[in-house]
Structure 1
Amino acid sequence: MTVQVPALPSDRYAVVAVASSAGGIGALGRLLKDMGSDLPVPVLVVQHLDPRHQTVIAEVLSRRTPLEVKLAEADETARPGTVYIAPPDRHLLVSPGGVLTLTSTELVHFLRPSADLLFESVAGAYGPQAIACILTGSGRDGAMGADAVKSRGGTVIAQDPETAEFRGMPSAAVGTGAVDYVLPLEEISTVIRGLVETKRRG
């Protein structure tokens, strides 16, 4: 059965995409804890996980947030107030209408899932209605995708590298010049809530 998700007005944000890697479980827990139970948009997450082990990330994060947290499934429609996490070794993409896709296509920068691919799909599906957020992590994953989100009129947030457990990913994102907000971790959820609950300025 296809779930019909009411479309948000075009002048409001419709999705939050989050990328994290090393140190990310703790950072995600802190971010989602303060997001509230009535978030009016879905949250799509790429957290780099070891594909050799079964993951319990959804269960771990569920204990830290009032939001529903689950591993993303192919062909499901992203619902507001739900956190969808890319399963280990699968790229997570989203198409217009919020339909999720999982793929095993080639690694990007030696990674699968790839934050760049998620962000690029979010940019294409949502344009200016998208928010991308890059948290702690080593490497550069998410930087190209953040640039794609910004180029389509979306908003990009990065954890302040000085406050990140691993600063590689947020530093690379900031280095693109595409980041709108550089914030300590504890301030990011407040800013996201403020963005998704108010109209975008034209």
Structure 2
Amino acid sequence: MRALIINCTLKPTPQDSNTHALASVVADALRERGVEVDDVRAVDLDIKPGVESHMGPGDAWPEVREKVLASRILVIASPTWLGRPSSVAQRVLERLDAMIAETDDDGVPLAYNRVGGVVVTGNEDGAHHVVSEITGALGDIGYTVPGQAWTYWHLGPGPGPDYLEERRGHDWSHKTGRAMAANLVGVARALEATPLGAPPE
């Protein structure tokens, strides 16, 4: 089984990413369950705006899409900015939107029988709102979102230190991340054994 983590930080490589650091906890927990994990830092790529699978010359989304389709588990990792998901996360979700209308040869939507989860970091409040926006979008696209398929870290309202600078709250975020990984794998295996079919006419 494969998983893909799309890191939607605003920080390009090689800058340190708080979001990557917490997502790595989930990645390690997935690997402990025999899952192969790949990750993409979306801000490093020229992902064109749009809601189609291919948006013309120079668009980097098709290579990301191949990784999405090769994975049973998709994790969207985003910082909280102004109480919302990052602009990069929004663009990724808009590009994933094309999967709503795409089906396999049996008429099953491409996102069916795949599971999705969310990782959020930020030194301001709003993590639950970010989780809700991203999980809602993944559900619309066709992903199954298990119960407690998320983890986050923040220190409450207002500015403050980042995840990489502050140890407070890490134990809870890491424990929740390991539970998230277990739930994602459990539901992915259940869907693999008993897959959803094409929607009724």
Between structures 1 and 2, the one with greater helix share: 2
- Provide TM-score, normalisation by structure 2: 0.44
- Provide TM-score, normalisation by structure 1: 0.43
Larger radius of gyration, structure 1 or 2?
A: 2
